[in-house]
Homo-oligomer: A and B are copies of this chain.
């Protein structure tokens, strides 16, 4: 850590800062120049980063050198992490192809979509039972009934399933039905939720918040990891900018950026990022070409009647065409798309 003092700092100020640093058991290195005095600090920087050194009178700037996250960092774990969800690998060259409707609306509908996306090559089924809707007057999800449907359809088709959890009180319930938790963008800094999820041993897909930097995202991941749950997958889903012709702005540079900073897999959700079916295929292609570990796409068999986010869903035919292209691209990129084992069986009512 480097501490820059204001111009013309008095010897008292310098002495006070040195004293504070030594009181923390760390060693300061003083460099006095003509216009500024600089203090380098050697020692456990993590200790120092939580101290309000910036608040000391006479301090102009505090420059941290080390990353504020540990367990998520590539320095801590140099190899790519690879996780397995019911036989489907994610990371280390294996692409997660997550697809399904935004919300679970009923068993027949989910089964219909699931069969189609599985045929097209999807290897994880998604569907929301608890929905974070901007308006209190919108459909809020089927709750436990939805979870049962998701589990049943997943089992019939031998597909692992992922669903969102929004509230620490839902974790126990959701954990009985899902293979992977999803934490939504709006909850990326719901720290109590992160801590509770961190105590489970179920893989987590965590979406980047709309105004989260790469560092913020990795700090939220650190909350989960530090509780003992090591299976965390990141998901870019667009950030909020001034551009208003798309729902959000997809920031694909986070993919190679995270690959440098962390060992964890990162996937991309072009559905929420663009909100526009006409842009989703191109952005899914771009995502895979950027080196990500999977793509998350919303598919609905009748978007104009969907109870949630219909306008951004692909129909199954569009998804199938896109998967054909993604497969060709994955081959050029040297990536594998794991296939769900077994034969689908017809879906019995749950």
Contacts and interface: CB of A to CB of B under 8 A. Distances in A.
Interface in A17-47: 20, 29, 31, 33-36, 38, 40, 42-43, 45-46
B135 A222 contact: yes
Contacts of A253: 246, 249-250, 273-274, 279, 282-283
B306 A279 contact: no
Most B CB contacts (10 A, CB to CB) among A54, A136, A193, A306 go to A136
Most B CB contacts (10 A, CB to CB) among A134, A213, A306 go to A134
Contact of A243 (B7, B36, B214, B243): B214
Contacts of A329: 289, 329, 332
A4 interface: yes
Contacts of A244: 213, 244
Contacts of A286: 252, 255, 286-287, 289-290
A160 interface: no
A240 interface: yes
Contacts of A33: 40, 42-43
- Counting contact residues on chain A (CB < 8 A from B), the size range is 35 or more
A291 interface: yes
Interface string A52-77: 11111100010101101100000100
A168 interface: yes
B290 A282 contact: yes
Contacts of A2: 2, 38, 63
A300 to B, nearest CB: 8
Given A186-B190, A245-B257, A285-B289, 7 more contacts: A52-B306, A56-B304, A249-B251, A256-B278, A256-B279, A286-B286, A288-B289
